[in-house]
Structure 1
Amino acid sequence: MLFLCGLLRNPKASVAATGILIQTAGIIYSFPFSLSIGVSTRVGHALGAGQPSRAQWTTIIGICLAFTFGLSASAITAALKSVWGKLYTDEPQILELISTGLPLLGLCELANSPQTAACGVLTGTARPKEGARINLCSFYFVGLPVAILLTFKCKIGFPGGYGLGYWQHRFAACA
């Protein structure tokens, strides 16, 4: 995705903003990943001890916690959208792109956090290949093509600096 930003209307600002958003995603991801490891360990121990109901409750609680974190991450990124970029730069074009992209990044955590916890459950049940397949399909066979389609085919570009009318026009042109 970072390489494809070089093809956008303002490649320098797009690459810079994407780099900052990728670093932010890495910070955010550390929480559901840690939860995933904990859930994996507890599910594995429960199943090893012959307590499948305890493993089931661990799974339910872990996925609920992950969803709650996804909601929190979404709210925090929306609240910090105009402040977060200033930690990295004072370039107005980059700040505008970050302030538009950050809430979208948080919105993605609504699905990414529970999915990460669920992959931890799969690891705890000795099926890590299934989790790897889910990640591969989710990010590279669904997410990447959709991003390329919306960015270049629908000509949305990096989601920044456009009013609602622009988005409605672009989605109507894509349909």
Structure 2
Amino acid sequence: MFNARVANELGAGNPRAARISVYAVMTLTVLEAIMISSTLFACQHVFGYIFSNEKDVVDYVTNMAPLLCLSVILDSLHVVLSGIVRGCGWQKVGAYVNLVAFYLCGIPIAAALGFWVQLRGKGLWIGIQIGAFCQTALLTLITSCTN
């Protein structure tokens, strides 16, 4: 429960300890995301066999593997950054960031790519990843501007 650690340090009047905790968890998160994504990317040609033995399914999963790797990285980062925002007591800010990133940016782009541009599942996933990138970027901006 990282957000509790940040909240406890801030509540105790130790902003320096809270900042060190943020640096530590972000370093661990980046390392973990890179390891998992690298493993998934390296295994992308055999990863599809978990789901099916059909060649078309395996090829589609192989084609989608880079998006899965990006998803792992972005999800790891925005979960930690959301915890930082909650730990600072800015739940409303996190809700607004989520609203803007996904409902005003990610979902419309996903719908356009998936249905209008005819990218189907890949377009839907690209749009959601754009929303996740927007959320991560906004939360990174908020966290980095926090004193």
Q: Residue 58 of structure 1 is aligned with which of 11, 21, 26?
A: 21
Aligned residue for 1:45?
8
2:63 aligns with: 100
The alpha-carbon deviation at position 117 of structure 1 amounts to 0.5
Partners of 1:145 and 1:71 in 2: how far apart? 29
- 1:130 correspondence with 2:93: yes
Distance 2:42 2:20 in 1: 33
Alignment of 1:104-119 (within 5 A): 104-119=67-82
Q: Extract unaligned runs of 5+ from structure 1.
A: 1-37, 160-175
How far did 1:111 drift?
2.6
Alpha-carbon distance, 1:41 to partner = 1.7
2:38 is the counterpart of 1:91: no
Q: Which residue of structure 1 lines up, in the alignment, with residue 145 of structure 2?
A: none
- State the shift of 1:118 in Å: 0.7
The CA distance in 2 between the partners of 1:130 and 1:47, in whole Å, is: 17
In the alignment, the residues of structure 1 paired with residue 29 and residue 101 of structure 2 have an alpha-carbon distance, to the nearest angstrom, of 17
Question: What stretches of structure 2 of length at least 5 have no aligned partner?
Answer: 123-147
Q: CA deviation at 1:104?
A: 0.9
Of 115, 119, 123, 1:152 maps to 115
Deviation at 1:97, TM superposition (A): 1.2
**For residues 142 and 68 of structure 1, what CA distance do their matches in structure 2 show?**
28
Please give the alpha-carbon distance, in whole angstroms, between the structure 1 residues aligned to 2:29 and 2:100.
20
Structure 2 CA distance for partners of 1:93 and 1:152, relative to 1, 3 Å: same
Q: Which amino acid aligns with 1:114?
A: L
Identity over aligned residues, as a percent?
27
8 Å Cα contact 1:40-1:120 kept in structure 2: yes
Higher relative contact order (CA 8 A, sep 6+): 1
Write 1 or 2 for the structure with the bigger share of helix.
2
CA deviations on 1:67-95 (whole Å, 9 max, x unpaired) are 22222232122112122221222122221
For residues 108 and 30 of structure 2, the distance between their equivalents in structure 1, rounded to whole angstroms, comes to 25
CA distance in 2, matches of 1:133, 1:68: 28
Q: How many residues align?
A: 122
Q: Which has the larger Rg?
A: 1
Q: CA contact under 8 A between 1:64 and 1:114: conserved in structure 2?
A: no
Q: Name which of 38, 51, 58 aligns with 1:75.
A: 38
